Amino acid sequence: MRVHATEATFTARLNRAKLRQVRRREGRYLLRTNLTETDPVKLWEYYLQLVRVEDAFRTLKSDLAIRPIYHQQPARIEAHVFLSFLAYCLYVTLARTLHPLAPGLTARSALEKFAAMQMVDVHLPTTDGRELLLTRYTEPERELALLLEQLDLTLPPQPKPRITSAEAATAL
């Protein structure tokens, strides 16, 4: 492409050899590496492994909301890493369980649906000074109920009501 210096016009010419080269490469990857492995299949497997590891870290940081926590003791550091790994394992398990049941549903969107359910404590005072405590979870919305059914999960029964003594009620 050439733009004329004095006029407001330009001329363009198609480089057919370059276009052929670009079209031949469409849909292909060019991997640069410092690995000495010569088998391209093995290099591709390494690349896909790297992609999965990077995706795991992205999931840990965003979907699971595991933020940096600065531990001082080695035992606490190891515990944090272990729990993060367990959370990631559960996340992947959920994703793989969902795939055959609802291929378009991601683990992230399923967790968002589960987050809509809440546990609430209802405190009701009685006439004799005691307090009735009802711990309840909200009823799942229609989409979540369908998801629970597909996953073959049942919610536990609602907990039984508890009643406090008059002394405990006044302390609260």
pLDDT digits (tens, 9 = 90+) for 24-80: 888 777 778 888 877 888 888 888 888 887 877 777 767 666 666 777 888 888 888
Residue 91, pLDDT above cutoff 70: yes
C-alpha to C-alpha distance for 120 and 138, rounded to whole angstroms:
8
The answer on 105 and 39 residing in a single domain is: yes
C-alpha to C-alpha distance for 111 and 144, rounded to whole angstroms:
10
DSSP result, 10-69: EE----HHHHHHHHHHTT------------HHHHHHHHHHHHHHHHHHHHHHTTT-----
pTM of the model: 0.55
C-alpha to C-alpha distance for 171 and 107, rounded to whole angstroms:
43
Residue 126, pLDDT above cutoff 70: yes
Q: Which of 61, 86, 112 is the last residue of a domain?
A: 112
C-alpha to C-alpha distance for 161 and 134, rounded to whole angstroms:
5
Per-residue pLDDT, averaged over 143-166, amounts to 87
The answer on 126 and 108 residing in a single domain is: no
C-alpha to C-alpha distance for 58 and 68, rounded to whole angstroms:
13
C-alpha to C-alpha distance for 169 and 172, rounded to whole angstroms:
5
Selection from 158, 162, 167, 159 nearest residue 132 by Cα: 162
Question: Where residue 142 falls among pLDDT bands split at 50, 70, 90?
Answer: very high
Query: What domain range includes position 123?
Result: 118-171
The answer on 159 and 108 residing in a single domain is: no
Contacts 24+ apart (CB under 8 A), 108-112: 108/63, 110/147, 111/63
- Count of CB atoms within 10 A of residue 159's CB? 13
The answer on 60 and 106 residing in a single domain is: yes
Within-domain flag for 7: no
Q: What is the model's pLDDT at position 5?
A: 83
The answer on 98 and 56 residing in a single domain is: yes
Within-domain flag for 26: no
The answer on 154 and 82 residing in a single domain is: no
The answer on 150 and 86 residing in a single domain is: no
Question: Where residue 17 falls among pLDDT bands split at 50, 70, 90?
Answer: very high
Per-residue pLDDT, averaged over 99-110, amounts to 87
Consecutive H or E run containing 148: helix 142-150
Question: Where residue 105 falls among pLDDT bands split at 50, 70, 90?
Answer: confident
The answer on 136 and 68 residing in a single domain is: no
Give how many domains the chain has, as a whole number: 2
Residue 171, pLDDT above cutoff 70: no
C-alpha to C-alpha distance for 103 and 27, rounded to whole angstroms:
25
The answer on 97 and 157 residing in a single domain is: no
The answer on 146 and 90 residing in a single domain is: no
C-alpha to C-alpha distance for 132 and 124, rounded to whole angstroms:
5
